[in-house]
Every structure is written in C-alpha cells, then in structure tokens.
Amino acid sequence: MDNIPTETSFFRDFQVFEALRQSIFPELLRRHRLDRTLNLWCAACSSGQEAYSLAILLRDYFPLLANEWNLTILASDVSEAMLAKARSGTYTDLEVRRRLPPKFLRRYFQKQGSQWSVSDDIRLMVQFRQIDLLKPLPSLPEMDVILLRNVLIYFDRAIQAEILDKMHRVLAPDGYLLLGATETPLRCDTVFKPVSVDRTVLFQLRPPDDADGGRSRHTGN
C-alpha cells in the first residue's frame, strides 16, 4: 500500500507498553506457566521499532520469558522495503532519540558510524515476515497479543471489518488485541469487548453469551 504512511517509533504511546508490562504480561505469564508458550504479533510493523520495543520490554523486565519460554514475536508488514529496514535493525540518531528510554539505548544498541544497531539478542527475538492483511492470512499460531496499531484507520469500514474478522480468528480465547490510540472508537465492539487496563483500552474476544456489554473487567479509570 504505497499511500499508507509508515510513520512509527520505539515505544509509541508509552502507556500501551506500560499496560503490557504492568498487567498484561504478568497475567499471561501466570496463565501460561505450564505450557510456557507465548505468541505475539505486530501485524503492521513498519520499520520494526514496535516489535523491537516488545522484545526490549520482555528481555528487560521478564528475562525468564525471553530465555526459557517458547516465545514468538512475529512482526509483519506488506512493504518489503519496511521489512528490509526492520530486519537490519539499524536506525538513525533521530529514530532512537524519539521515545526510546536512554537506558534501553545504552543496553540494547551499538553505535555504528552515524547509525545505531539493535543488539543481536534483541534482533534475533523477532521474526519478520511479509503478510498482506488484505489477503487471506497464512497459517499462524494462536496469538496471545496482537498489535494492530495505526493501520486500520487507512481503510474503509468494510475492509476494517474484514481485517478485524481475521484477527478474531487468530486471537487466543483470552488474548488481547491492541489498536492505535486514535483507533479505539472503531466499531469493532460487536465481536470484541473493550477492556480498560491501566488507562489503555485493549480488546478481547466477546464470548457468545456476554450479556453485560463486555465491560465487567475494567481495571483502570
């Protein structure tokens, strides 16, 4: 999609990553403590900063998960050019200074000339793959967390509904879907229920017998 912006950054909408760190990942770790398997998907990853932010967060705050679990961080985009940059893990000074906490820059990046390269242990945590959300999805594992941020807004309602339907089929029964900050009003609340966690709105599958409008699990404001 040549006309869709590829704008992104590390830890974009920091509050989202705080909700993942403080609530969502601890809950998923408890729930998956026996199978020790966790599948995460950045479904429109652009040049990779979103997926590397997840990897950094997990490596830094949940090192056991990064080292001893079957952790999959799949990052996909339709654009091969964006995927090539993402795979290289190399960013300009401006890109790393934008929202990346300095402690993470020190710990997980090396300066190479005028560029910064993400360290191999972070880079190797992420699998990049081309997936066009407008086409049938390839076979994917059930996802515990899907980040589908800042891409739906560029499609019309019918296409949004089609893409959300695909997310519905691949999201684990207790998994979480995250949209972009400006996308939460999108009408995806017929099959997903909004859940407010630490002032971030996420979406979960709505059980067929959900009678209270899906708002019973609010933990934030």
Ligand X SMILES: C[S@@+](CC[C@H](N)C(=O)[O-])C[C@H]1O[C@@H](n2cnc3c(N)ncnc32)[C@H](O)[C@@H]1O
Binding site for ligand X (CB under 6 A): 1, 4-8, 12, 44, 46, 50, 77-79, 82, 132-134, 149-151, 180
* Partners of 76 in the β-ladder: 129
Nearest to 143 by CA among 121, 119, 127, 123: 127
Based on CB atoms, which residue is closest to ligand X, 123 or 149?
Answer: 149
What whole-number distance in Å separates Cα of residue 144 and Cα of residue 171? 6
Nearest to 87 by CA among 122, 138, 38: 122
Instruction: Note the helical H segments in the chain.
Output: 14-19, 25-31, 49-61, 63-68, 80-88, 93-97, 102-108, 120-123, 157-170
Please, what is the minimum distance in Å from the beta carbon of residue 138 to ligand X?
Answer: 12
Please, what is the minimum distance in Å from the beta carbon of residue 35 to ligand X?
Answer: 28
Based on CB atoms, which residue is closest to ligand X, 32 or 45?
Answer: 45
Please, what is the minimum distance in Å from the beta carbon of residue 151 to ligand X?
Answer: 4
Residue 163: C-alpha distances to residues 28, 87, 137, 155 (Å): 24, 25, 10, 10
Tokens representing 154 are 């560029």
The amino acid present at 99, given as its one-letter code, is: R
Please, what is the minimum distance in Å from the beta carbon of residue 165 to ligand X?
Answer: 14
Based on CB atoms, which residue is closest to ligand X, 142 or 162?
Answer: 162
Please, what is the minimum distance in Å from the beta carbon of residue 50 to ligand X?
Answer: 5
